[in-house]
Amino acid sequence: MDKNRQMDNAKRVVVTGIGMVTPLGIGKEEFGRKLFAGDCAIDTIKTFDTSSFPSHLGAEVTNFTPRDFISVKNLRRMDKIALMTAASARLALEDAGMKITDENRDRVGIILGTAFGATDVTVQFAGTLLTEGPAFVNPILVPNTVMNAPAGHTSIELGFRGVNTTVTHFAVSAETAIAYAAAEIRRGTADFILTGGVDILSKFYYEAQTKFHGLSPQNGGPEACRPFDLDRNGAVAGEGCGIICLESMQSAMARGHKPYCEIKGTGMGSSLTTPTGWPENTDGIRRTFSRALKNAGSDAASIQTVFAAANGGKVLDATEAQAYEEIFAGLEKKPLITSLKGAIGESFSGGGIRACALALSMEKNMLPPVVGLTKPLRPLAFVAGGKKDIEINNAALAGISFGGTYAYLIFGNCRNGEAKN
Amino acid sequence: MTIKGFNLKKRIVITGLGTFNAIANNVADFAVALQAGVCGIKKLELFDTAEFRSQTGGQIKNFIPRDYIPLEFPLKRMSRADMISFAATLEALRDAGLYPLPDSLKEEMGVAIGGGSGGLLEAESFYMELLKKGTERARFSKLSTIYCASSADRISSGLGLSGPKTTFMTACSAGATALGYARDLIVSGQASMMMAGGVEPMCRITYAAFNALKSVDPDVCRPFDKNRAGLSLGEAAAIMVLEPLDAAIERGARIYGEILGYGVTCDSFHMTAPDEKASGAVRSMQAALKDSGLTIDDIDYINAHGTATPVNDVTETKAIKEVFGKRAYLVPVSSTKSMHAHTLGAAGALEGIVSMLAILHGFIPPTINHQESDPECDLDFVTTGSRKANLRTVLSNSFAFGGNNTTVIFGKYEGEGARHG
């Protein structure tokens, strides 16, 4: 019997709102439309000069007008990463039909993941310090160099005062933040938590990526992002923010708001890799996936789809694909596997955007395709060539990072306020 | 005390400690220095401070990595932050009787670290190289440890751990939040044991940031003094071994005490200034009391955030009075930052170690450097040297930029396996 059925509604964590500023679009209508149409947001980088780099592609956020979302009072204090976060959070709150009031503001919080924070502002500050000296640095920049600044700005802009935490762990930053937020809702330390991830493209960050040979084309060939493809040759850098709203089923029912889905379980883990190396064996993935399933009270057979972490990288995609072959071996019906990174690039904290996409998939009964996949590296059930209509009961979201860190989230459908097996 | 859906019957104890800071390079010396009221704030030697407003700081003295880290662990590409946190981890494991670490514990053991400046010290040398040699010849590999998440990666991979791994980035409250979250991961069954704490290295960029904000005292910091003129920056690593009480007893561990509860809130007021009404700090202490099932009468000592900035100390005093009422004047309050300086991302964890040592050895550490009383800071700040006291509990505050507040409550343990000071 499903363990979740036995849990009372105060402990069931549901997703009741989504908001995003992404290369594919801003807000769930535009994002959802392009996502399921199989659009690709990857294009030549326009905001900085890439002519001296071996890579030139990126998935940039375009047409984002911060003043449409942020009050004039706070606008000038916020940098690019804080603006994307606060705008996504505002969209998510509106989508959840949630108003911040004097009565609820102390019980609403944010737990945000970011892999690299405001690389643009930090480099600007450090540059002045190291070239001109301490007397010339701009104190106005200082508050925005700390990684918790986006969450701090967002709480000020939207006026909530509950739990406020920023988590970072490279490519699992957002998944870890979501897992923590779900635990905090279960623990009852807040009634409503905004969670997800944000990262931005900056010239410095892009250059560092190219120097670490993280970006396509790693070994020649045409530059592109091709998750799970035989011809993949590296990731394409992306940026953006995705925020989901978590609360208990009891709270959502009391507000009369229909959830997208619920978070049934979470699992975290580590494995031995070199500091900047991606995992080369499947131990960490298998272990963490099974922890998440156990935490959810489910098993591999109950999973209809996996939102994979694959980003077009040589090692990551091969290891992840092999892991799913092992995990789902022997199952009669194999889950469908998709990865969004062919459409939105690799922003490291893209788990927030991917969680938004997963919520939309549950609502619309369809899965987005793996953009850029034409020659699958293994015979898995990839969603390729276009969206796939399917009623999803249980889905897994994968977070895998270089350095050997993992976080898996198990989502369940609760269309009628009732978890399905 | 039960909070909805959360099993607080599972008691989590601290069985090992490790630290490097401005007044000690191990826990035993730290206990002695804290009782003696040693000031570790001196002229900085790590880098040239001639051009800065201040020249002082709490620097770790005589840290020779190979004196503390055996040859079996390669130091290649480890930042100062990585090395002090790894060395503190080994000390904590030895202290807990877990070194060498048995293989059977590795599967379910995790790491939660509060981070701060990470590898920024090393990034500075990279940046100088970049300016001198240009992007073609600058060694970007130096950046592989720039981010603070690298310290947790080094601990996890160095020890061969497979459990959860995460890094908190909430500036000055990060170390405290890491302790609280680590406790929760064990309570909820996601890890059987955690290495938890914080690390903050001294570096020019952080030093310049606090100088630019004019929040640094050019001399030594004087918490709660009428003439206090700002904080003193410090560096530290502080790591604890956390495990369930029953497991600790079963393996014959020597127990320091337990984490009774924690609370996390947000000012939602201003990025660098605390809310003058002190609402965030008040709610943080109240949340920790609620989580631990204690009342104000149960708290025997308050380890203050006490940075010695004009605004923090008066706000914190106000908050303590608001929470404790008349009892505020009866509970001793001290800021050990007067000795080891403000260690930012490590502060909450370092002061957690202070709290545990105070409980174990039965003393209240003093607020040193205090000369003149401030009428607005009129509590018992223990300004005339350490005091003997039988402490059952310590409440430790950590408040941060971005309005992030965390309070952790530590408790004495007197049952089977208890350590004696």
Write the DSSP symbol of residue B254: P
Q: Is A230 on the interface with B (CB under 8 A)?
A: no
Write the DSSP symbol of residue B208: H
Q: Go through B365-398 and write b for each residue having 16 or more CB atoms within 10 A of its CB, e for each that does not.
A: bbbbbbeeebeebebbbbbeebbeeebbbbbbbb
> Confidence band (pLDDT; 50, 70, 90) for A416?
low
Catalytic residue, chosen from B148, B221, B342, B361, is B342
**Is residue B5's pLDDT more than 50?**
no
Phi, psi dihedral angles at B85 (to 5 degrees)? -75, -35
Q: Do the beta carbons of residue B167 and residue B115 sit within 8 Å?
A: yes
> Confidence band (pLDDT; 50, 70, 90) for B401?
confident
Instruction: Please state whether beta strands B12-20 and B236-244 pair in parallel, antiparallel, or not at all (unpaired).
Output: antiparallel
Angstrom distance (rounded) from CA A2 to CA A75: 47
Task: Name, in order, each residue with C-beta under 8 angstroms of A358's C-beta and a sequence gap of 6 or more.
Answer: A261, A307, A395, A397, A411
ipTM > 0.85? yes
Q: Which tokens is B401 given?
A: 């930029």
**Across residues B342-348, what is the average pLDDT?**
98
Reduce the DSSP state of residue B7 to 3 states and report it.
Answer: coil
Angstrom distance (rounded) from CA B12 to CA A223: 51
> Confidence band (pLDDT; 50, 70, 90) for A101?
very high
Place of tokens 């709102």: A17
Reduce the DSSP state of residue B392 to 3 states and report it.
Answer: coil
Residues in chain B within 8 Å Cβ distance of A149: 271, 401-402
- Determine whether the interchain pair B401/A106 forms a contact, defined as Cβ–Cβ distance below 8 Å: no
> Confidence band (pLDDT; 50, 70, 90) for B324?
very high
Amino acid at A264: K
**Across residues A287-301, what is the average pLDDT?**
97
Choice between B277 and A157, residue whose per-residue pLDDT is larger: A157
Angstrom distance (rounded) from CA A207 to CA B421: 53
pLDDT tens across B57-89, in order? 999 999 999 999 999 999 988 999 999 999 999
- Determine whether the interchain pair A161/B4 forms a contact, defined as Cβ–Cβ distance below 8 Å: no
In the 3-class helix/strand/coil scheme, how is B89-144 assigned residue by residue? HHHHHHHCCCCCCCHHHHCCEEEEEECCCCCHHHHHHHHHHHHHHCCCCCCHHHHH
Of A282, A310, A309, A323, residue with least CA distance to A226: A310
Reduce the DSSP state of residue B164 to 3 states and report it.
Answer: coil
> Confidence band (pLDDT; 50, 70, 90) for B271?
confident
Of A7, A16, A22, residue with least CA distance to A353: A22
Q: Do the beta carbons of residue B242 and residue B183 sit within 8 Å?
A: yes
Angstrom distance (rounded) from CA B57 to CA B21: 11
Residues in chain B within 8 Å Cβ distance of A186: 5-6, 188
**Is residue A420's pLDDT more than 50?**
no
Choice between B356 and B401, residue whose per-residue pLDDT is larger: B356
**Is residue A1's pLDDT more than 80?**
no
pLDDT tens across B182-196, in order? 999 999 999 999 999
Neighbours of A163 (CB within 10 A): 29
- Determine whether the interchain pair A207/B147 forms a contact, defined as Cβ–Cβ distance below 8 Å: no
Angstrom distance (rounded) from CA A225 to CA A229: 9
A132, A142, A199, A401, best to mutate vs chain B, most B CBs in 10 Å: A142
pLDDT tens across B144-157, in order? 888 889 999 999 99
Interface of A with B in 165-204 (CB under 8 A): 165-170, 176, 180, 183, 186-189
Instruction: Please state whether beta strands A394-401 and A305-307 pair in parallel, antiparallel, or not at all (unpaired).
Output: parallel
Q: What pLDDT sits at residue A218?
A: 86
Residues in chain A within 8 Å Cβ distance of B140: 208, 211-212
Reduce the DSSP state of residue B51 to 3 states and report it.
Answer: coil
- Determine whether the interchain pair A114/B205 forms a contact, defined as Cβ–Cβ distance below 8 Å: no
Q: What pLDDT sits at residue A75?
A: 96
pLDDT tens across A25-37, in order? 999 999 999 999 9
Q: Which of B124, B167, B213 sits opposite A139 (nearest CB)?
A: B213
**Is residue A417's pLDDT more than 70?**
no
Catalytic (active site) residue B361: no
Helix A119-132 and helix B204-212, axial crossing angle in degrees, nearest 10: 90
**Across residues A283-311, what is the average pLDDT?**
97
Q: Is A255 on the interface with B (CB under 8 A)?
A: no
> Confidence band (pLDDT; 50, 70, 90) for A418?
low
> Confidence band (pLDDT; 50, 70, 90) for B130?
confident
B137, B169, B181, best to mutate vs chain A, most A CBs in 10 Å: B169
Amino acid at A182: A
Task: Name, in order, each residue with C-beta under 8 angstroms of B287's C-beta and a sequence gap of 6 or more.
Answer: A189, B262, B263, B264, B265, B407
Angstrom distance (rounded) from CA B215 to CA B416: 46
Write the DSSP symbol of residue A188: T
Q: What pLDDT sits at residue A7?
A: 61
**Is residue B137's pLDDT more than 90?**
no
For residue B126, the distance in angstroms to the closest alpha carbon of chain A comes to 11
Q: What pLDDT sits at residue B6?
A: 40
Tell me how far apart the terminal alpha carbons of chain A are, to the nearest angstrom: 8
pLDDT tens across A396-411, in order? 999 999 999 999 999 9
Given phi > 0 = left and psi -120 to 50 = alpha, else beta, which region is A116? alpha
Residues in chain B within 8 Å Cβ distance of A250: none
> Confidence band (pLDDT; 50, 70, 90) for B3?
very low
- Determine whether the interchain pair A10/B156 forms a contact, defined as Cβ–Cβ distance below 8 Å: no
- Lowest-confidence pick of B8-17, B242-251, B290-299: B8-17
Q: What pLDDT sits at residue B145?
A: 83
Catalytic residue, chosen from B39, B148, B305, B370, is B305
Q: Is A101 on the interface with B (CB under 8 A)?
A: no
Three-point CA angle A131, A136, A142, nearest 5°: 100
Structural domains of chain B in order of their starting residue, each with its CATH number: 12-411 (3.40.47.10)
Which class is A3-412 in CATH? alpha beta
Residues in chain B within 8 Å Cβ distance of A295: 189-190
Task: Round the average pLDDT of chain B to a whole number and report it.
Answer: 94
Of B55, B47, B210, B202, residue with least CA distance to B119: B202
Q: What pLDDT sits at residue A36?
A: 98
Tell me how far apart the terminal alpha carbons of chain B are, to the nearest angstrom: 29
Angstrom distance (rounded) from CA A36 to CA B378: 63
What's the distance, CA A330 to chain centroid?
30
**Is residue B2's pLDDT more than 50?**
no
A358-A359-A362-A364 Cα dihedral, nearest 10 degrees: -100
**Is residue B4's pLDDT more than 60?**
no
